Amino acid sequence: MLQAENVLFTITILLYVAAMVFYFLFIAVKKESFAKIATLIQLVGLVLHTVALICRGIGAGRLPLTNQYEFATSFAWGLSLVSLIFLWRFKFPVLGAFAAPVIILIIGYAALQSREVRELMPSLRSSWLGIHVSTAIIAYGAFGVSFVLGFIFLMREKMQNSAFWDSHVPAREKLDVIGYRSVCLGLLFLSFTMITGAIWAEQAWGSYWSWDPKETWSLVTWLVYAIYLHMRLRRGWKGRAAAIFAVVGFICVIFTYIGVNTFLPGIHSYA
């Protein structure tokens, strides 16, 4: 099973790269058929990615959500899933073109991590693991999409006189609302992640909140997005400012995930 997972993981990376190439061709050549092919390849990649994760789960005899490799590949899976949902819901493939490089960067980071299957320590043997980490994957995926949308918004401003951008990318006000929606999804799931994590921590460590760097940075990320929402709703901070804020927010997400593990080890050092 683990060998199958290795093969599927490699094929998944190749498919995501192929999808990115077709998305770029779509933008360069301006032919919609390339976008359709790219979306199809990304969808096949997502299916194989799912199968790879299932194989790893079966091979390891547990949920594949417990170390840097497993979380990174799941993070890429979450971003791929959320980006495809947003792409399907709002019907603009340019989103895929900007999301694909981010997915490849994250899955590339996963490929650099050790894929060794280790036995779980007792504290990780909990049914809360699946709920806590899977909600984090959706939250991170949604914030990844908000980052991509923020980036597209900023590009959209630069491409005001481009007929291609006018016809294939939603108007700025719509992009802004879609970005807001993805932040809402991310914040709801991040809150869920933090609350389920607290319940689990209480059972495993005897304390629902211990100011561990991972917990603290999850809170910082939550506060940053809470500021984004308040600025948006009360101060009319929309458009360009909101797009920049979405990009900054995702930097916090990445720091919470990679930076904390690298620079601020704590009791979450396995995640």
Tally: H helices and E strands in the chain: 10, 0
Nearer to another protein, 43 or 244 (CB): 244
Would you count residue 195 as binding another protein (CB under 8 A)? yes
**Out of 121, 130, 251, 269, the residue judged to bind another protein by CB under 8 A:** 121
Tokens 């980490």 locate to 133
- Cα radius of gyration rounded to whole Å, the chain: 19
The helix (run of H) or strand (run of E) holding residue 158 is helix 128-158
- Binding of another protein at residue 154 (CB under 8 A)? no
Residues of this chain, 210-269, that bind another protein according to CB under 8 A: 211, 213, 216-217, 219-220, 223-224, 226-227, 230-231, 233-236, 238-239, 260, 264
Select 17 or 185, whichever has its Cβ closest to another protein. Answer: 185
Does 174 engage in binding with another protein (CB under 8 A)? Answer: yes
Query: Which residue in 99, 89, 94, 98 sits closest to 46, CA to CA?
Result: 99
CB of 203 to another protein, least distance (A): 5
What is the DSSP code (8-state) at residue 66? S
| d(C-alpha 47, C-alpha 42), whole Å | 9
Side-chain-side CA neighbours of residue 237 (13 Å): 17
Q: Please list, residue by residue across 51-86, b when 16 or more beta carbons sit within 10 angstroms of its beta carbon and e when fewer do.
A: ebbebbbebbebbbbbbbbbbbbbbbbbbbbbbbeb
- Please tell me what DSSP assigns to residue 118: -
Q: Is the CB of 37 or the CB of 201 nearer to another protein?
A: 201
Q: Residue 153: name the closest of 246, 23, 233, 24 by CA.
A: 246
130 binds another protein (CB under 8 A): no
Which 30-59 positions form the footprint of another protein (CB under 8 A)? none
By CB under 8 A, residue 162 contacts another protein: no
In whole angstroms, how close is the CB of 147 to another protein at the nearest point? 18
Closer residue to another protein (CB): 192 or 270: 192
Give the interface with another protein as residue ranges (CB under 8 A): 119-123, 125-126, 128, 166, 171-174, 176-178, 180-181, 184-185, 187-188, 191-192, 194-195, 198-200, 202-206, 208-209, 211, 213, 216-217, 219-220, 223-224, 226-227, 230-231, 233-236, 238-239, 260, 264
